[in-house]
Structure 1
Amino acid sequence: MYNLSVEYKILVVDDDKSNRQILTLLLAELGQVILASTGQEAMQKACQQQPDIVILDILLPDLSGYELINALKSEERTQHIPLIVVSASDSYEAEEKALLSGAVDYIKKPFHASILKARVNVNLKNISQRRMFEKLTHLDALTGIPNYAQIEELFNKIQHKCANDEKLLLAVVDIDDLARYNKLQGRHAGDRVLRLVAHALAGRLMMFNGHLVRLYDATFAIIMACCDESEAESVLSQLLKSVRLLELPVDETGNRSVSVSVGACLRSNTGQSTDVFRMLKFAHTSLQAAKNQGRNCFVLEQTKID
Structure 2
Amino acid sequence: MNEKSSTLPLPAPLLEDTLPLSASLVEGPSFSRLLVVDDQPINIQALYQIFHGDHEVFMATNGQQALEFCQQDPPDLILLDVMMPNMDGLEVCRRLKAHPLTREVPVIFVTAQESPDEETHALEAGAVDFITKPVNPAVVRARVRTHLTLKRQADLLRSLAFVDGLTGVANRRRFDDSLQREWRRSRRNGASLALLLMDVDHFKQFNDCYGHLVGDSCLQTVAGALKANMGRSHDLAARYGGEEFACLLPETHLAGALAKAEELRQAVQALNIPHALSSIATVVTISIGVTAVVPMMNLSPDQLLSAADEQLYKAKRSGRNRVCGVDIHHS
Residues 234/284 of structure 1: CA separation in 2 closer, same or farther (3 Å cut): closer
Q: Write out per-residue CA displacement over residues 109-148 of structure 1, whole angstroms, 9 at most, x where no aligned residue.
A: 9999999888666533431233224433344333343332
Correspondence for 2:120 among 96, 104, 113: 96
Shift of 1:219: 1.2
1:242 is aligned to 267
Paired with 1:303 and 1:214, the residues of 2 have a C-alpha distance of 23
Correspondence for 2:304 among 256, 276, 279: 276
1:264 is aligned to 289
Question: Are 1:135 and 2:163 an aligned pair?
Answer: no
Q: Write out per-residue CA displacement over residues 250-291 of structure 1, whole angstroms, 9 at most, x where no aligned residue.
A: 779xxx86412314265787965251343254135325425x
Correspondence for 1:215 among 240, 253, 262: 240
Contact 1:169–1:265 (CA<8 Å) still a contact in 2? yes
Paired with 1:163 and 1:58, the residues of 2 have a C-alpha distance of 35
Residues 142/157 of structure 1: CA separation in 2 closer, same or farther (3 Å cut): farther
Shift of 1:214: 1.6
2:88 is aligned to 67
Residues 270/7 of structure 1: CA separation in 2 closer, same or farther (3 Å cut): closer
Paired with 1:278 and 1:302, the residues of 2 have a C-alpha distance of 11
Aligned partner of residue 206 in structure 1, secondary structure: coil
Contact 1:181–1:257 (CA<8 Å) still a contact in 2? no
Contact 2:183–2:193 (CA<8 Å) still a contact in 1? no
Paired with 2:195 and 2:223, the residues of 1 have a C-alpha distance of 18
Letter in 2 for 1:289: R
Contact 1:210–1:223 (CA<8 Å) still a contact in 2? yes
Query: Unaligned 5+ residue runs, structure 2?
Result: 1-27
Contact 1:148–1:213 (CA<8 Å) still a contact in 2? yes
Contact 1:9–1:52 (CA<8 Å) still a contact in 2? yes
Shift of 1:34: 6.5
Aligned partner of residue 262 in structure 1, secondary structure: strand
Letter in 2 for 1:148: R
1:83 is aligned to 107
2:180 is aligned to 153
2:206 is aligned to 180
Moved more, 143-152 or 243-252: 243-252
Paired with 1:182 and 1:148, the residues of 2 have a C-alpha distance of 25
Letter in 1 for 2:166: L
Paired with 2:144 and 2:295, the residues of 1 have a C-alpha distance of 49
Paired with 2:65 and 2:241, the residues of 1 have a C-alpha distance of 43
Aligned partner of residue 259 in structure 1, secondary structure: coil
Residues 83/282 of structure 1: CA separation in 2 closer, same or farther (3 Å cut): closer
TM-score (norm 2): 0.55
Q: Write out per-residue CA displacement over residues 43-82 of structure 1, whole angstroms, 9 at most, x where no aligned residue.
A: 99996997633456768xxx49x93444566689988642
Paired with 1:279 and 1:176, the residues of 2 have a C-alpha distance of 22
2:129 is aligned to 105
Contact 1:8–1:52 (CA<8 Å) still a contact in 2? yes
Aligned partner of residue 200 in structure 1, secondary structure: helix
Shift of 1:183: 6.5
Decide which structure has greater strand share.
1
Paired with 1:269 and 1:110, the residues of 2 have a C-alpha distance of 46
Question: Are 1:126 and 2:154 an aligned pair?
Answer: no
Contact 2:272–2:283 (CA<8 Å) still a contact in 1? no
Q: Write out per-residue CA displacement over residues 130-188 of structure 1, whole angstroms, 9 at most, x where no aligned residue.
A: 32244333443333433323244378469749989x8966443225436635873662x
Residues 97/186 of structure 1: CA separation in 2 closer, same or farther (3 Å cut): closer
TM-score (norm 1): 0.58
Percent identity between the two aligned chains: 19
Query: Unaligned 5+ residue runs, structure 1?
Result: none
